[in-house]
Chain A
Amino acid sequence: MKKILLLIPVLIFVISGCSKTEDLISPYHFSIIPKVTNLKVDAIDTTQTGKRRIVMSWEMPDTSNLRFFEIYRSQKNPDNFKIIVSNYKDYVFADSVLPAITDSLRLFYLVYPIGTKTDVRTGTKVSFIGPPSDTLIVTVKKLK
Chain B
Amino acid sequence: MKKFILFVLIFYMFNISYAQNNLNYTYQVYQEFRSNKSKKELFEIPKFNPRRITGLTYSVFVPGSGQIYLGHQTKGAAFAVTFFTGLVGAIVSQNNFIGNKERLETLQFDYLNADRYTLADYYWKQMVDVYNEQKMHERARNIFTAATVFVWSLNLIDYIFWTDDKGPIEFSYKTDNNFGNIFSIAIPLN
Q: In whole angstroms, how far apart are the Cα atoms of A130 and B120 in the complex?
A: 10
From residue A18, how far is it (CB to closest CB) to chain B in Å?
Answer: 6
Q: Is A140 in contact with chain B by the CB < 8 A criterion?
A: no
Stretch at the interface among A45-53, A84-92, A99-107, A121-129: A121-129
Residues of chain A within 8 A of B141, CB atoms compared: 18
Among residues of B, the one whose C-beta sits closest to the C-beta of A33 is B117
Q: Which one of B21-29, B126-134, B176-184 contacts A?
A: B126-134
Q: Is the CB of A21 within 8 A of B94?
A: no
Known contacts: A7-B60, A11-B149, A21-B131. The answer to whether A130 contacts B117 by CB under 8 A is yes
Contacts of B113 in A (CB 8 A): 119-121
In whole Å, how far is A133's beta carbon from the nearest beta carbon of chain B? 11
**Across the interface, do B115 and A126 meet the contact criterion of CB distance under 8 Å?**
yes
Say yes or no: B117 contacts A127, CB within 8 Å.
no
**Residues of B contacting A22 in the complex (Cβ-Cβ under 8 angstroms):** 101
Q: How many residues of B contact A (CB 8 A)?
A: 30
Q: Are A15 and B124 in contact (CB under 8 A)?
A: no
Interface presence of A24 (CB below 8 A): yes
Does B164 lie at the interface of the complex (its beta carbon under 8 Å from any beta carbon of A)? no
Q: In the complex the two chains form, is B117's CB within 8 Å of A129's CB? A: yes
Interface of B is mostly: helix
Q: What is the bound-complex CA distance between A20 and B100, given in angstroms?
A: 12
If A4-B156, A7-B60, A24-B128 touch, does A129 touch B116 (CB 8 Å cutoff)?
A: yes
Contact A29 B138 (CB under 8 A): no
Specify which chain A residues have a CB less than 8 angstroms from the CB of B112 in the assembled complex: 25, 28, 120
Tell me if B108 counts as interface (CB < 8 A to partner A).
Answer: yes
Say if the beta carbon of A3 comes within 8 Å of chain B: yes
Q: Which residue of B lies closest to A128 (CB)?
A: B115
Most buried by B among A11, A15, A24, A130: A24
Do residues A129 and B115 form an inter-chain contact, with CB atoms below 8 A?
yes
Contact with B along A9-45 (1 / 0, CB 8 A): 0010001001111101101110011000000000000
Considering the chains assembled together, what is the distance between the CA atoms of A128 and B120 in angstroms? 10
Number of interface residues of A (CB under 8 A): 27
Provide the residues of chain A in CB contact with B118, threshold 8 Å.
Answer: 129, 131-132
Which residue on chain A has the smallest CB distance to residue B90? A18
Is the pair B117, A20 in contact by a Cβ cutoff of 8 Å? no
Given contacts A15-B149, A21-B131, A21-B135, whether A29 and B156 have CB atoms under 8 Å apart is no
* Contact, CB under 8 Å: B117 / A21: no
Given A3-B60, A21-B138, do A29 and B124 touch, yes or no (CB 8 Å)? yes
CA of A22 to CA of B57 in the docked complex: distance in angstroms? 38
Query: A50 vs B152: C-alpha distance in the bound complex, in angstroms?
Result: 88
B74 within 8 A of A: no
Report B95-127 residues with CB < 8 Å from chain A CB: 97, 101, 108, 111-118, 120-121, 124, 127
B interface with A by C-beta (< 8 Å) = 56-57, 60, 94, 97, 101, 108, 111-118, 120-121, 124, 127-128, 131, 134-135, 138, 141-142, 145, 149, 152, 156
16 A–B contact pairs at CB < 8 A?
A: A3-B57, A3-B60, A4-B60, A21-B138, A22-B101, A25-B112, A28-B112, A29-B111, A29-B114, A32-B117, A120-B112, A127-B115, A129-B115, A129-B116, A129-B117, A131-B118
